[in-house]
Structure 1
Amino acid sequence: MKVFYSSFALALVVAGTTSANAADAITVTSWGGALQKNQSSAFMEPFSKVSGVKVSQDEWSGELAKLRAMTESGSVVWDVIDVDPQTAEQACSQGLLDKLDYGKITPPSTLVKGAVLDCAVGISSYATILAYNPEKLKAKPTSITDIFDTQKFPGKRTFHKSPVDTLEVALLADGVPADEVYSTLETPEGVDRAFKKLDTIKKDIVWWEAGAQPSQLLKSGEAVIGLAWNGRVSDANKSEKAGLGVVWDGQIQGFDMWAIPKGSKNKELAYKFIKFTTDPKNNAELSKYVDYGPTVVEAVKNVSPDTLGDLPTAPQNMKNYLVQDAEFWGVYGPDLNARFSTWVSQ
């Protein structure tokens, strides 16, 4: 899909990016694959074109050990990194990231709920949603909690092999109100309650570890219903004509976030890049390539109406949703990951 750079040039004034010297350069590191390719088309290439700043790219898998080695040695070669909220909180608490100066980016009030952290700012929103194969079910699911209803929706169900989202959905399905999910999970009784709920369908679960897997499992019929990332399901429906159904009710929103590693050699240029990507016009560009929603509230009006209905942050898809609590997972994540791994292996 073609990028119209003229719109970025116009937005440049708003974003505050200025002409750069030929030697100006930054390195932006993301997760690789299709996501990074789309980010490059939407953000890195346009920023470089209109600012004159050379943008090199690298990939990582969120491994904090690598980031820690850079910061402790004083050899930080990354300037902006893509982090998920949980990684952002853990890295921030360990002193591996700079605390952001939102005065150099955008006022926090311009961003959607959950996109503002001390050390990271949300650049796009994705969601864990309920997906299903309508050819394998007699009834149509209406809520993310329907994944636990094996009577009405018999068959294998697929879950991400991670406690993140899995435990939240278990409590939602057990009747915990959305605004009490994380306070419940902070207690030993709440954690026990979540695992007890998961026990009821454990024998019916097919686990997935890579984002493309749930769509493949549902399309093949190996599972009939499951939790998946909305962009992956949408891509399967568009590129493979998978015909999968999506339920937005009860979606759990997560974010891709920009952060600046402690010790970045090009901090001011990093801020210029982040500011550019949080301009309302520029922030909406990623939605042209993948069904991830903008995090800037005003950016929604710049998204094509044909695309808007497939985004997590579309108003009609946010009537009942839960935002991942990054602070919670930053604190409790290590213990819950250990318990989850033990539970899965038993």
Structure 2
Amino acid sequence: MKKLLVLSTALTAVSFAAQADVTVMSWGGAYTKSQVEAYHKPFTAATGINVISVDSDNPAPQIKTQVEAGNVSIDVGDVEYADAIRLCDEGMLEPIGMDVLPAGADGTPAADDFLPGAVTDCAVATIVFSTVYGYDNTKFPDAKPTTMADFFDTTKFPGKRGLRKGAKANLEMALMADGVPAADVYATLGTPEGVDRAFAKLDTIKSDVIWWEAGAQPPQLLADGEVLMSTAYNGRLFAAAVAEGKPFTTVWDGQVYEYDLFVIPKGAPNKDAAMEFVKFATSTQALADQAAWIAYGPARKSSGALVGMYNDGKTEMAPYMPTSAANLGNALASSYEFWVDHDGELNDRFNAWLASN
């Protein structure tokens, strides 16, 4: 309560027109629920400002469309790193910057408290998430998949696979499944031969793939038995397994991890309130609180010590985090530099490949 009173007092200095609502566009499902519990509700309690949630399969394209049309209806968007950089470079976002962000709860300046690269000119990271793959362990009475190579091995493990409909993460995982060490993935993918190699590996399972676009789909595909294994966001698999009791196992080998970040679209109707929301949501306690609702690592160092149990009061969260030492044995940090430079050409090739026989 003391924390809320201090924040409320500080925020009274900002003039908000009739306590305007803040509209936040995010990815839906268990992820948005974690944001509502950790950010939205406490922010409203501290400021009196209502937070409206809007779901999207990917907020970045909608932000671009709204800004280009001069008809912006959202105040804050949750986007992936490469999209944050690209949108900022294209002038689609309001500047934020490190200097406006609060220090950590232990007094550490924001510049030293956020993880490396977590704050850019126009975006502030909230979580570290990863793309992994999972399976229903009741479908594997004997040998179980343990590596990324197993995901692509339809001889040893025959059955349908679920993959996100897009180039990102799929190309990296294909190369790792084909024997490329994680440390060499982007050097390999940066060559025509490496791109050919990734698509050749995808060719080996193309006829067995069911494509997904929304984060909620992979757990449902697994639960319905439509796929034997599926790539997914690690937090979605955690929510299905722990919160819903599904018999799902996450395979961390070959995980591709990255930040998700908050941005404010250029021309946001409630820019000042949006800025206060971003500052609140990326504070030490708020980021730690989110980790009690979903298995994504907080983007602040000072939040780490505050991460404890899941909200069920009995599940220790650390082993389910992408950044847990046990889960980083063969992990790949997604390269935003690579995807900023190559997103267009590789997705064009991916779409052409997808449409081909």
Change (3 A) 1:11 1:133: farther
CA distance in 2, matches of 1:22, 1:90: 30
**Worse-superposed segment, 150-159 or 120-129:** 150-159
Which position in structure 2 is the counterpart of 1:3?
none
Q: CA deviation at 1:344?
A: 1.6
Q: What's 2:132 paired with? A: 129
- Show the counterpart of 1:223: 227
Instruction: Indicate whether 1:307 and 2:310 are aligned.
Output: no
Are 2:146 and 1:142 aligned? yes
Secondary structure at 1:112's aligned position in 2?
Answer: coil
Match of 1:274 in 2: 278
Q: 1:324 aligns with which of 298, 321, 334?
A: 334
Indicate which of 255, 266, 276 corresponds to 2:259.
255
Identity %: 39
Q: Provide the aligned length of Structure 1 versus Structure 2.
A: 338
The answer to whether the 8 A contact 1:125-1:293 is kept is yes
**Cα distance in 2, alignment partners of residues 242 and 297 from structure 1:** 32
Q: Distance in 2 between matches of 1:329 and 1:235?
A: 28
C-alpha distance 172-290 of structure 1, shift in aligned 2 (>3 A): same
> What residue identity is the alignment partner of 2:59?
G
Distance 1:267 1:232, change over 3 A: same
Q: Distance in 2 between matches of 1:241 and 1:72?
A: 44
Change beyond 3 A, Cα 1:183–1:100: farther
Alpha-carbon RMSD across the aligned residues, in angstroms, is 2.8
SS where residue 320 of structure 2 aligns? coil
Structure 2 CA distance for partners of 1:154 and 1:260, relative to 1, 3 Å:
same
2:11 to 12, 18, 36: 18
Aligned partners of 2:22 and 2:49 also within 8 Å: no
Other-structure match for 1:152: 156
Question: Could you say if the C-alpha distance between residues 133 and 96 of structure 1 is closer, same or farther in structure 2, counting changes exceeding 3 Å?
Answer: same
1:244-291 alpha-carbon deviations (Å, 9 max, x no partner) = 111223221133211122234654543332222222211111122222
Q: Which moved more, 1:260-269 or 1:40-49?
A: 260-269
- Would you say the 8 A contact 1:71–1:263 is kept in 2? no
Tell whether the 8 Å contact from 1:64 to 1:91 is kept in structure 2 after alignment. no
What is the CA distance between 1:147 and its match in structure 2?
0.8
AA aligned to 1:318 is L
Given the two structures, how large is their TM-score scaled by the length of structure 2?
A: 0.83
Residue type of the partner of 2:134? A
Cα distance in 2 between the residues matched to 1:101 and 1:63: 19
Confirm or deny: 8 A CA contact 1:251 1:322 kept in the other structure: yes
Counterpart of 2:22 in structure 1 is 27
Q: Which residue of 1 aligns with 2:186?
A: 182
- Cα separation, 2, equivalents of 1:10 and 1:143: 49
1:328 deviates by 2.1
Q: Measure, in 2, the Cα distance between the counterparts of 1:223 and 1:58.
A: 29
Note closer, same or farther for the CA distance 1:79–1:239 as it changes in structure 2 (3 Å cut).
Answer: closer
Taking the aligned partners of 1:334 and 1:49, their CA distance within structure 2 comes to 42
Structure 1 residues 134-182: Cα deviation after superposition (integer angstroms, max 9, x where no partner): 2323213222332123343333222112111100101112222222222
Distance 1:161 1:321 in 2: 21
Please, which runs of 5 or more residues in structure 1 have no aligned partner?
Answer: 1-5
Whether contact under 8 Å (2:21, 2:50) holds in the other structure is yes
Q: CA-to-partner distance for each residue in 1:24-83, whole Å, 9 max, x for gaps?
A: 54623212633334312211221232234454554554254654544664x645432222
2:59 aligned partner: 62
- Give the superposition deviation at 1:208: 2.2
CA shift for structure 1 position 217: 2.7
**Aligned match of 2:81:** 85
- Greater shift in the superposed pair: 111-120 or 41-50: 111-120
Distance 1:116 1:187, change over 3 A: farther
Q: Which moved more, 1:262-271 or 1:202-211?
A: 262-271
Gapped regions of structure 2 (runs ≥ 5): 103-109, 310-315
| Deviation string, structure 1 residues 75-116 (Cα, Å, up to 9, x no partner) | 645432222223212211211113332111253442234533
Equivalent-residue separation in structure 2 for 1:87 and 1:70 (angstroms): 14
Any conservation in 1 of the 2:26–2:53 contact (CA below 8 Å)?
no
For residues 187 and 311 of structure 1, the distance between their equivalents in structure 2, rounded to whole angstroms, comes to 32
Provide closer, same or farther for how the CA distance between residues 7 and 319 of structure 1 changes in structure 2, counting only shifts above 3 A. Answer: farther
Q: Distance in 1 between matches of 2:297 and 2:286?
A: 12
Q: What is residue 343 of structure 1 aligned with on the other side?
A: 353
Counterpart secondary structure, 1:258: strand
Q: 1:187 to 1:219 in 2, by over 3 A?
A: same
Shift of 1:324: 1.9
Relative to structure 1, the CA distance from residue 56 to residue 344 in structure 2 (aligned partners, 3 Å threshold; closer, same or farther) is closer
1:261 counterpart SS class: coil
2:37 to 18, 36, 41: 41
Q: Match of 1:288, SS?
A: coil
Whole-angstrom distance in 1 between the partners of 2:144 and 2:257:
22
- CA offset digits 1:301-325 (Å, max 9, x no partner): 2112422222223343334322222
